[in-house]
Structure 1
Amino acid sequence: MAGEDVTADSVQQRSAAYRLYTHPWSQIILISFICFCCPGMYNALSGLGGSGQVDSTVAANANVALLSATAGTALFIVGPIFDHVGPRICLLLGGWTYPLYAGSLLCFNKTGNGAFVIASGAILGVGASFLWVAQGAIMTTYVSEAQKGRAIAAFWIIFNLGGGVGSLASFGLNYHSTSGTVSNATYIALLVIMALGWLMGVLICPPSAVRLNELQPTPETEKKNWKRTVALAIHTIADWRVLCILPLFFCANVFYSYQQNIVNGMTFNIRTRSLNSALYWIAQMLGGLIMGLILDIPQLTRPARARAGWAFLVVTGMTIWGGGYAFQKWLTARMARGLKQDIDFSQGSLATGPIFLYIFYGAFDAFWQSYCYWLVGTRSNSPAVAAILVGAYKTFQSTGGAMAWRVNALGKPAMTQFAMDWGLCMGGLVIALPSVLTVTKTSTAVVEEDEVEKEEKIVGPATKD
């Protein structure tokens, strides 16, 4: 019958649409665009130096509050909550805090209310925990092991496109500005985009709907057992291989305060800071692609890829930070003469070198964080375990960032901040080496089967509360 044929066709079309919606890569792209709108636009703000203000102290203290709140919630609060409510609820709980923070900066432009900015930063810290734990679990477990590097690269490209586009918009809006602060229109535009990203969170589907054989489901009994969830978190983090990479996590944002508030914020005028911010995040897109391709080289075994990524970080780190040392000596001499926030991109050779250094700093950040996420992906294909590991990542990343932003807010010498960042990064790579050398050829899924029995002995069998 014609009516029956139409009904059958419509059912097939709906079924095909649902399969596309629940495809792992569809969810990867969706979470990437959510991060494009929320943390991507936040990055556009923070990359301006002082979040676009002449006095960077309020923004630095807001970042301390933000990162301290993230460090205090990501691991043992948000990680277990993710296991119980899933990524969609986590994204909806966390996403609204981004437009709140942009609104607080708009308010500061009008009223000078710094306390509201700092309080909004603390609230955003909790919201960011929810968003990043959900994002990390999706990115590291929703695709097969052979594609994890590409998934990280795809996410990093789309996410940092947000920072690039937002900064280019700020560049256009502030092209003729002489005030030293960004316009109200900049904050309003970023606020609207952040709100859109928050609403997109309703489209994320639960892990149980994703079609991937390697995705390890969490039994329903585990989801209802908070005691087991916390015990599993402790067991996961206590693994010596995880402990060795915690310094990598600690250093993942430790250089932001120096790069954004000193290299960019104290060297260039407002329109050039906007342009540099765009170039910084665009460089992150390229950096994520490069590291993703290295970590997915088909001719190399998984242990060889782990070592290649580590060696690449060492070589690029020493090269880029070495160039940064020469820049910082030059900047210190300029600031001693009272010169700051004065260089424009149109000044030729005076601006070219510092701008390119800032671009390479952006690429190195992408190298570092992409490698951290890939190491997380080698530990587990379980969304629950991945959420714990990503929670640990965000906790230690935020702790390092809060420490660095506080050092910046206290006005410590720029050379001191530079030396601290370079030393911590290289030291973190050395400490991580034993863990890097133990990455196995065996797939994560197979390794987990061998670990299940050990976990049961430690945390006990799953039972309903």
Structure 2
Amino acid sequence: MDDNDTSAGDAAGPIMHAGEDDKRSTFHQIYTHCWFQIILISFICFCCPGMYNALAGLGGSGQVNQTVAANATVALLAATAGTALFVVGPIFDRVGPRVCLLLGGWTYPLYSGSLLCFNSTKNGAFVIAAGAILGVGASFLWVAQGAIMTTYVKESQKGRAIAVFWIIFNLGGGVGSLASFGLNYHSKSGTVSNGTYIALLIIMAIGWLLGVFICPPSSVRVSQLQATPQSEKNWRKTARQAVRTVTDWRVVCMLPLFFSANVFYSYQQNVVNGMTFNIRTRSLNGALYWIAQMLGGLIIGLILDMPGFTRPMRARIGWVFLFVTGMAIWGGGYAFQKWSDRRVAAGFKQDIDYTDSSISVGPTLLYIFYGAYDAFWQSFCYWLMGARSNSPAETAITVGAYKTFQATGGAMAWRINALKKPAMTQFAMDWGLCMGSLVIALPTVLAVTLTSDPNSEALKSRDVPDSKEDPRVEIKE
């Protein structure tokens, strides 16, 4: 155990026999290991937002009337935008990730329960109110998750940590969508069954309870993590740090990137999937979408941790990869939208079944590529945030900014969808925002340094690869 783990000895309590102490130490070393915590937060997100994604991916959260679900999502994102940056971000440094997860996790089963209620009562107001409450809860969960994922591991492993998280997290959306596919395989209606909502509610509740096992930053065994000393935790310093972080020019250049991170969800889920396929095929496509996210997270994670390249070079390679794949995928989306507009004009809607391969393969493949690109985008955003600092407190502020602007962009897009603007208009807006924000973020990408470790300040001006084999950069645990 390294010098960062100061809590173990203080909490030891009465003297124990050697055997008992050894057992406790082994358990404590596993429990406080950075990768155990990464996997744990991944499974929490598998259960909570992963299952929420399974619902959202059905188009209209599995309802024929997509307007209520769209307005609930607008309320969710508006609440997230209003709380993530200057409310939850500063609170994180005072109460820690465990409390944040417990404060936020229960709102996920509440939302699933509201959809279950809507199936029987058509109480749309309850769904929208539950969406707003979920928006606040999601702020707590995602700020804690982002800080853990980007600071609890060493700098040379941040890409892999993001990849592991993205795989496990999106497995939730994949499994949830496959379960929905099975439950609704013979369904002739346009909505999912009550059993779907009940099953997802139970899984979400389990994820909320798993938050009890998250460690505070001071207990995690990783050498480069910069935990805030207890003596420096006060609201004035936290507020100053929040202002200083969000006004940093590197963060300012990333804000359009953050804004565009979820802007395409409403179009992809409610138009591409929701208006094109029948209910069981939408469930299957939802599974494929989140499975593609798992593969996409793995690909971009490996690119951002490539050995033999400096961290600045990996940042540039990641940017080029995102730009080229974005132009290719959105270009294919343009061809689809022209075809879809002709079908809608002819009266075809929510009619394509996966068994009709002559017409379903192309749109399904496009939806899969959209899922992979979402993973590329968000993983790159998280990696850039992790490249700025190894401090959970500072990163929580940046993640708060990310969630605020991500939610703002998403709320705008869902509102445009709820207003039933033309699908081509929504598509053009999404494509333009994504490519434009990548260009604006380029100065931040070019400013990525060799290390964020304050103990290795001199390395920032030296061309030394950030690899495990080079002891000048990698600080051993």
The amino acid across from 2:411 in the alignment is A
- 1:117 paired to 2:118: no
Residue 443 of structure 1: how far off its partner (Å): 3.7
Which of 2, 7, 21 is the aligned partner of 2:31?
21
Which of 100, 105, 115 is the aligned partner of 1:90?
100
Which of 113, 116, 125 is the aligned partner of 1:106?
116
The amino acid across from 1:270 in the alignment is I
- 1:378 paired to 2:387: yes
- Identify the residue that residue 237 of structure 1 maps to in structure 2: 246
- Identify the residue that residue 464 of structure 2 maps to in structure 1: none
Distance 1:237 1:222, change over 3 A: same
Structure 2 gaps of 5+ residues are: 1-15, 461-477
- 1:352 paired to 2:361: yes
- Identify the residue that residue 300 of structure 2 maps to in structure 1: 291
The amino acid across from 1:344 in the alignment is D
The amino acid across from 1:161 in the alignment is L
- 1:332 paired to 2:341: yes
Higher helix share: 1
Please list, as runs of the form range in 1=range in 2, the aligned pairs for 1:252-291 lying within 5 A after superposition.
252-291=261-300
Please list, as runs of the form range in 1=range in 2, the aligned pairs for 1:279-428 lying within 5 A after superposition.
279-428=288-437
- 1:250 paired to 2:298: no
The amino acid across from 1:368 in the alignment is W
| Secondary structure of 2:355's aligned partner | helix
- Identify the residue that residue 458 of structure 1 maps to in structure 2: none
Matched-pair contact (CA < 8 Å) for 2:451–2:459: no
The amino acid across from 2:287 in the alignment is A
Moved more, 214-223 or 245-254: 214-223
Q: Quick one: distance in 2 between partners of 1:345 and 1:128?
A: 33
Residue 221 of structure 1: how far off its partner (Å): 2.5
Matched-pair contact (CA < 8 Å) for 2:260–2:437: yes
- Identify the residue that residue 37 of structure 1 maps to in structure 2: 47
- Identify the residue that residue 142 of structure 2 maps to in structure 1: 132
- Normalising by structure 2, what TM-score? 0.92
Q: Quick one: distance in 2 between partners of 1:109 and 1:443?
A: 51
The superposition leaves residues 12-55 of structure 1 with CA deviations (integer Å, 9 ceiling, x where unpaired) of 01110110000000000000000000000000000000000011
- 1:221 paired to 2:231: yes
Q: Quick one: distance in 2 between partners of 1:336 and 1:255?
A: 23
Residue 7 of structure 1: how far off its partner (Å): 3.4
Residue 212 of structure 1: how far off its partner (Å): 1.1
Matched-pair contact (CA < 8 Å) for 1:141–1:381: yes
The amino acid across from 2:204 in the alignment is M
The amino acid across from 2:315 in the alignment is A
- Normalising by structure 1, what TM-score? 0.94
Q: Quick one: distance in 2 between partners of 1:445 and 1:220?
A: 19
Matched-pair contact (CA < 8 Å) for 1:380–1:448: no
Q: Quick one: distance in 2 between partners of 1:222 and 1:254?
A: 37
The amino acid across from 2:231 in the alignment is T
- Identify the residue that residue 470 of structure 2 maps to in structure 1: none
Residue 449 of structure 1: how far off its partner (Å): 10
- 1:72 paired to 2:92: no
Residue 450 of structure 1: how far off its partner (Å): 12
Residue 142 of structure 1: how far off its partner (Å): 0.2
Matched-pair contact (CA < 8 Å) for 2:389–2:452: no
The amino acid across from 1:429 in the alignment is L
| Secondary structure of 2:344's aligned partner | helix
Q: Quick one: distance in 1 between partners of 2:232 and 2:374?
A: 36
Matched-pair contact (CA < 8 Å) for 1:72–1:395: yes
Which of 169, 188, 192 is the aligned partner of 2:179?
169
Structure 1 gaps of 5+ residues are: 1-5, 452-465
Q: Quick one: distance in 1 between partners of 2:450 and 2:400?
A: 26
Q: Quick one: distance in 2 between partners of 1:442 and 1:129?
A: 28
The superposition leaves residues 396-422 of structure 1 with CA deviations (integer Å, 9 ceiling, x where unpaired) of 000000000000000000000000000
- Identify the residue that residue 190 of structure 2 maps to in structure 1: 180
Residue 448 of structure 1: how far off its partner (Å): 7.8
Q: Quick one: distance in 2 between partners of 1:359 and 1:66?
A: 25
Distance 1:450 1:147, change over 3 A: closer
The amino acid across from 1:91 in the alignment is L
Residue 447 of structure 1: how far off its partner (Å): 7.2
Q: Quick one: distance in 1 between partners of 2:124 and 2:131?
A: 11
Residue 299 of structure 1: how far off its partner (Å): 1.2
The amino acid across from 2:320 in the alignment is A
| Secondary structure of 1:346's aligned partner | coil
The Cα RMSD (Å) is 1.3
| Secondary structure of 1:299's aligned partner | coil
- 1:58 paired to 2:84: no
Residue 11 of structure 1: how far off its partner (Å): 1.6
- Identify the residue that residue 459 of structure 1 maps to in structure 2: none
Q: Quick one: distance in 1 between partners of 2:332 and 2:408?
A: 27
The superposition leaves residues 261-293 of structure 1 with CA deviations (integer Å, 9 ceiling, x where unpaired) of 000000000000000000000000000000000
The superposition leaves residues 410-443 of structure 1 with CA deviations (integer Å, 9 ceiling, x where unpaired) of 0000000000000000000000011111111234
Q: Show structure 1 runs of 4+ deviating over 3 A.
A: 442-451
- Identify the residue that residue 463 of structure 1 maps to in structure 2: none
| Secondary structure of 1:331's aligned partner | helix
Matched-pair contact (CA < 8 Å) for 1:280–1:363: yes
The amino acid across from 1:292 in the alignment is G
Q: Quick one: distance in 2 between partners of 1:449 and 1:15?
A: 36
Distance 1:449 1:410, change over 3 A: farther
- 1:11 paired to 2:21: yes
Matched-pair contact (CA < 8 Å) for 1:377–1:386: yes
Residue 445 of structure 1: how far off its partner (Å): 3.6
The amino acid across from 1:390 in the alignment is V
